[in-house]
Structure 1
Amino acid sequence: MVARREISDEVWAVMEPLMPTASGRSRPWSDHRLAVEGMAWKYRTGAPWRDVPERFGKWNSIYKRFARWSEDGTWEKLLAEVQKQADAAGKVDWVVSIDSTIARVHQHGATLKRDEGALSNHRDPWIEPPDHAIGRSRGGLTTKLHLVADGRGRPLGMVITGGNVNDTTMMTAVLEDICVPRAGKGRPRTRPERVLADKGYPSKANRAWLRARGIAATIPERDDQIAHRRRKPGRPIDFGHQQQERYKGRNVVERCFNRLKQWRGIAMRSDKLARNYRAGISLATTLIWIKTEVISLPSGW
């Protein structure tokens, strides 16, 4: 029986030139494709690392390579390179949507000691946060994925937190995670044209932050905010017919979550380390970008 390939030849033709070389190592890497396919198999099925089939190589070697790349930022660089080429080809829709989704933490992923309530460093996603991005909410121990997607439902930026973290407080951190490098000279692009968000994000602080950066917003008000303004008159938020039509496009972020959670290792977190969980999401995200675009990438980065 022929085993199904986790990564097609067309997708690997894009990824292969971007994979790390053996520079500085005493021994060369073994086949990158088999290792990456083993990683994709693990997160797609949600199986333990020890159950990765032998056809991909030794499970321990695959895990060590995956963990090394999550710690040194390799997965972030790979994703940024793919996004850069898509932007250079004009294939990124900069009317973005933001939302969050919850993932239950498997008992195998909650065995490390956590410093609950400690502040996480969202600017360096490969640095492990003190709480390992695990929080206790109504669903038990959970992790929350805060994500911003472009207008075609591809992830542009994300932040991993405990499941008890409020969406509103994370809006600026998620948008600041957008960093798409330029193909030529120039600073990376970090600002979208417009942000679409639901009623979980309409705080005054968020609107002021967007306004100060020249980013248009399509965010409806909550009923309690409308009632408060009626008691204490103020300038109403423009959410007329044109804004309502724009708001219909917000569902792309929901479709993005649906696509990511087809990978069972993302739908339920079994990783002990938050940076490894984010690396698994970055791997799935990179494949989404490649599969939705025909991108010609240069050799190396």
Structure 2
Amino acid sequence: MSRTRSLSDAAWGRLEPLMPVAARVGGRPFQDHRRVVEGIIWRFRTGSPWRDLPAEFGPWQTAWKRHRRFSADGTWDRIQAELLAEADAVGGVDWAVSVDSTINRAYQHATNLPRDTGGSSSYKKLRIEPTDHAIGRSRGGLSTKIHHLIDGRGLPLVVLVGAGQAGDSPMFPVLMEHLRVARRGPGRPRSRPDRVRADKAYSSRAIRTHLRARGIIAVIPEPSDQRGHRARRGSRGGRPVSYDAKDYKGRNVVERSFNEDKQWRGIATRYDKLALTYRGGTVLRAITLWLKRLGDTP
């Protein structure tokens, strides 16, 4: 396989039927889907400017415009949803999920758009560009957070982006809201995992109440300040929080998931001005990982 080629023939065989035929009904059909998708993957894998796309992938404007379109119209999300449904149908999804976020530095070329820093700091609506472009100022400078809800084997089920200084806890209900894996056959999409593993940043009464109401096991340790606050309140503080410490060790898969993401340099550092296209790259990365999982599934 060429160094500029990322998808095997088997992987493309799964992906090709899921690609849109035309931009709209009655419109001109898309051409050279594989060449363009390979070019988009190459760009995010290497972190190169779009203008430096090798000629074998065709005009760089075509790759950019198609990625912009597929990020905004939900094409990448629909493809990931189809792969998730296929994986779940053959038992390829582990429903002991983990949640966490990672901060990625935003390159100077990604930060020169006007931003409304008083706007929404979380990318809650997948296909609407947030007013802050999911860029915020944290200790390391201007940055973006990637929020993952992953399965028990470390592959993304839901991917969102938000500003770098924003907290993790407010994004948890948004991640859970977007967790919907369709079933092959009758029945509603599955949206309730067996358990949720998370670190102390997600230890809030609201999150624990949400999980308890849905019958989901919370594997979330409690920080010392919350324990002390409850102890000071005495009987009014409620019961001590308990969790399965042995099962909590499985949360490391979310850290490994971020390591997989950051093998693509265009994700490890954000070069995209728009949150739409940056998140589109992270979803495309998730698609390539699920293609590998399905290739390993008997």
TM-score by length of 1: 0.93
Q: Which residue does 2:287 correspond to in 1?
A: 286
Superposition deviation, residue 120 in structure 1: 6.0
Superposition deviation, residue 24 in structure 1: 2.9
Superposition deviation, residue 210 in structure 1: 1.0
Identity among equivalent positions (%) equals 53
CA contact (8 A) 2:127 2:276 kept: yes
Matched, 1:91 2:89: no
Q: Which residue does 2:5 correspond to in 1?
A: 5
Structure 2: 5+ residue stretches without partners = none
Deviates more, 1:140-149 or 1:174-183: 174-183
SS in 2 for 1:136: strand
CA contact (8 A) 1:70 1:275 kept: yes
Q: Within 2, Cα distance between the matches of 1:268 and 1:61? A: 23
Matched, 1:143 2:144: yes
Runs of 4+ in 1 over 6 A off after TM superposition: none
Q: Within 2, Cα distance between the matches of 1:18 and 1:2? A: 24
Superimposed CA distance per residue, residues 209-237 of structure 1 (whole angstroms, 9 cap, x where no aligned partner): 11111111000000111112222223111
SS in 2 for 1:66: helix
Deviates more, 1:207-216 or 1:115-124: 115-124
Amino acid at match of 2:224: D
Q: Within 2, Cα distance between the matches of 1:206 and 1:277? A: 28
SS in 2 for 1:294: helix
Amino acid at match of 1:69: F
Alpha-carbon spacing, 1:15–1:295, altered in 2? closer, same or farther (3 Å)? farther
Q: Describe how 1:55-134 pairs up with structure 2 within 5 A.
A: 55-119=56-120, 122-134=123-135
Amino acid at match of 1:223: S
CA contact (8 A) 2:121 2:163 kept: no
C-alpha RMSD over aligned residues:
1.7
Amino acid at match of 2:16: E
Matched, 1:235 2:239: yes
SS in 1 for 2:186: coil
Q: Which residue does 1:166 correspond to in 2?
A: 167
Superposition deviation, residue 158 in structure 1: 2.2
Q: Which residue does 2:17 correspond to in 1?
A: 17
CA contact (8 A) 2:122 2:134 kept: no
Alpha-carbon spacing, 1:132–1:122, altered in 2? closer, same or farther (3 Å)? closer
Amino acid at match of 2:295: V
Deviates more, 1:3-12 or 1:206-215: 3-12
Alpha-carbon spacing, 1:255–1:172, altered in 2? closer, same or farther (3 Å)? same
Q: Describe how 1:204-283 pairs up with structure 2 within 5 A.
A: 204-233=205-234, 234-239=238-243, 243-283=244-284
CA contact (8 A) 1:147 1:158 kept: yes
Q: Within 1, Cα distance between the matches of 2:120 and 2:103? A: 20
Q: Within 1, Cα distance between the matches of 2:19 and 2:122? A: 26
Q: Number of matched residues?
A: 293
Superimposed CA distance per residue, residues 273-293 of structure 1 (whole angstroms, 9 cap, x where no aligned partner): 101111000111001011022
TM-score by length of 2: 0.94
